[in-house]
Amino acid sequence: MECLIPRKVSILFWRVALDRIPTRNNLLSRGINVSDAMCAICGNEIEDRDHVFSRCEVATSTLRAVFRWLQLTAVTMGTINDTMQWVDSCGMSEKKKQVIKAVCLTTVWILWKFRNTFIFKNQELRKECIVDSIKEFAFLCICNRRKKNVCNWIDWLKNLLMGCNFLASV
């Protein structure tokens, strides 16, 4: 099975799955002084892995929008690991699962980039652009890693799982 996403995205997800990313809670648990343990984006909860990728208002609205775009029923997930386990057991063909996984990992990548830009560059980013960034990054990754039969941008935006040529035979 070919890899549809860049290695850096896979490595970030691996670190997220192991809870080895520098969230504020993880930094505090390692004795690193941070001014505030609360989520920098919403300020509602302590910033840990599950909050950043599953419970933060930005993450939940992003995941709902991504599932809506994929035309899948959004299920409430406690953690990002729950989401990936759901994808593994969703009963779709392996090609479709591979694309859904690529989109889910891209979602993790873009959410982490959004969080870091917000914290380190003091930039107020538009939350509405997150899903568009996910669609664009996933499209570019998959198109550049497939040798042939890649869908066009319009089909990708309309109906990812039905419109792409390389999934049509599934």
Confidence (pLDDT) at 72: 83
Domain assignments of the chain as residue spans, ordered by start? 7-168
From first to last of its 170 residues, the chain has per-residue pLDDT tens of 458 899 999 999 999 999 999 999 999 999 999 989 999 889 999 999 999 998 999 999 999 999 888 888 766 667 877 877 888 887 888 888 888 889 999 999 999 999 999 989 887 668 889 999 999 999 898 888 776 656 778 888 876 665 555 554 43
Confidence (pLDDT) at 2: 57
- Give the whole-angstrom CA distance, residue 137 versus residue 55: 23
128 token code pair: 């509405």
The amino acid that residue 144 corresponds to is N
Confidence (pLDDT) at 74: 65
Output Rg (C-alpha) for the chain, integer angstroms: 16
pTM for this entry: 0.88
41 token code pair: 């984006």
